[in-house]
Amino acid sequence: MSNKFSTRMSRIKKSFIREILKVTIDPEIISFAGGLPNPDSFPIEGIKKACAEVLETDAKNALQYSTTEGYLPLREYIAERYVNIKGLKATADEILITNGSQQGLDLTGKIFLNRNDYVIIEKPGYLGAIQALSIYEPRFRPVELYEDGIDIPMLKKTLRKYPVKLYYSVPNFQNPSGISYSEEKRKEVAAILNDNPVVFVEDDPYGELRFTGADKSSVKKYKENNIILLGTFSKIVAPAFRLGWIYAEKDIMEKLIVAKQAADLHTNYFSQRVVFQHLKDNPLDEHILNICKLYKIQCDAMITAMQKHFPENIHYTIPEGGMFLWVTLPKGKSALELFEIAIKEKVAFVPGDPFYVDEENVNTLRLNYSCENETTIEEGIRRLAKAISSL
């Protein structure tokens, strides 16, 4: 690479998943590699009416520049949901509207990270966060994820050993693993962090997509300060609007607003107006229930098919919500090798590699179930099982 580019760009690889998705364009391939919400769940009629309504009643404002913070009624709506659903004390001035929660990650990196700052990330961890934060050249310290959440002794050890700046976490139905933190672990994490200046980033794109089991508290419930929550309408309304948000306390919010303004002035205002209008006219909770019903059927179909077709020595997580589950092959087996075989069997997934910052050629892989119907899922898992057998 020529030295005309900044050093930060030399650390970033082209997206692994992008490359994989190119292979899966073949229509004969059943793909569990994506991470898209099911378009059958998009509230098309509501959006159609909302567009018409906004343009009929207030077009000149709805098409104009707006404030960096975002549309106030939408921010109030988000704050109220935190109050009503999570029992948090959120107010609208603690909410910043972002271009999807991916931008929340970029702004978080921007305002907190100097080069070589330490960041705790779950292992495996969310690829989008690894990419976004890598731009700011931190040193990642991965901490193992168990089926009930983070490895607490390892977390403590890491915090003792390094002056950690950020701890990035997806406590609900994590991408890639489908794992959720137990209520107990949330409390423990908060207690540990309350003695430490680390900022906790609670990324929660899937939290509302619970189709089984009891709701869990936000870590924010147990930790008042040095915590940022990221949320998004991508999985509960539609992704194309790129509407996410950051919920943060005052001193952090001030920096976020300055960084957001420098980054793009403000988020698409027309879409903020349309989505708010839609949410005002159509109860979101009902809509979410329907998405959860759909995803439960798909997740159950995948698990049933795995129970039927997979060899005994293949381990997989059983998520209580969200869009992903996580498969572990026997030790020493390579998910990348499996991928090559699977493509020949016309089934695709994401090998675990991009979700690790410190390992390669791992024996884990991610399956997405939100975009295929039961029959296709059964057939895809049958093919995958066949690929596993010939590995």
Please, which of residues 100-139 interact with a second copy by CB under 8 A?
A: 100, 102-103, 106, 110-114, 117, 128, 131-132, 134-136
**Candidate list 72, 258, 297, 391; residue touching a second copy; CB under 8 A:** 258
Size of the site for a second copy (CB under 8 A): 76
Pick the binder of a second copy from 20, 29, 30, 62 (CB under 8 A): 62
84 vs 194, which CB is nearer to a second copy?
A: 194
Residues in 319-358 at the binding interface with a second copy, rule: CB under 8 A: none
Three state DSSP letters for the chain: CCCCCCHHHHHCCCCHHHHHHHHCCCCCCEECCCCCCCHHHCCHHHHHHHHHHHHHHHHHHHCCCCCCCCCHHHHHHHHHHHHHHHCCCCCHHHEEEEEHHHHHHHHHHHHHCCCCCEEEEEECCCHHHHHHHHCCCCEEEEEEEECCEECHHHHHHHHHHCCEEEEEECCCCCCCCCCCCCHHHHHHHHHHHHCCCCEEEEECCCCCCECCCCCCCCHHHHCCCCEEEEEECCCCCCHHHCEEEEEECHHHHHHHHHHHHHHHCCCCHHHHHHHHHHHHHCCHHHHHHHHHHHHHHHHHHHHHHHHHHCCCCCEECCCCECCEEEEECCCCCCHHHHHHHHHHCCEECEECHHHCCCCCCCCEEEEECCCCCHHHHHHHHHHHHHHHHCC
Does residue 372 bind a second copy (CB under 8 A)? no
Q: Which of 91, 196, 268, 282 binds a second copy (CB under 8 A)?
A: 268
* Residue from 19, 48, 116, 307 binding a second copy (CB under 8 A): 48
User: Which stretch in 167-175, 188-196, 231-239, 323-331 sits in contact with a second copy by CB under 8 A?
Assistant: 231-239
Give yes or no for residue 313 binding a second copy (CB under 8 A): no
Q: Give the nearest distance from C-beta 182 to a second copy in angstroms.
A: 29
- Chain residues 147-186 in contact with a second copy, contact rule CB under 8 A: 165
- Using rule CB under 8 A, residue 255 touches a second copy: yes
Of positions 65, 195, 312, 332, contacts a second copy by CB under 8 A: 65
CB of 251 to a second copy, least distance (A): 8
Assess 22 for contact with a second copy (CB under 8 A).
no
Q: What minimum distance in Å lies between the beta carbon of 99 and a second copy?
A: 4
Taking the least distance from each CB to a second copy, the nearer of 208 and 320 is 208
Is residue 85 a contact point for a second copy (CB under 8 A)?
A: no
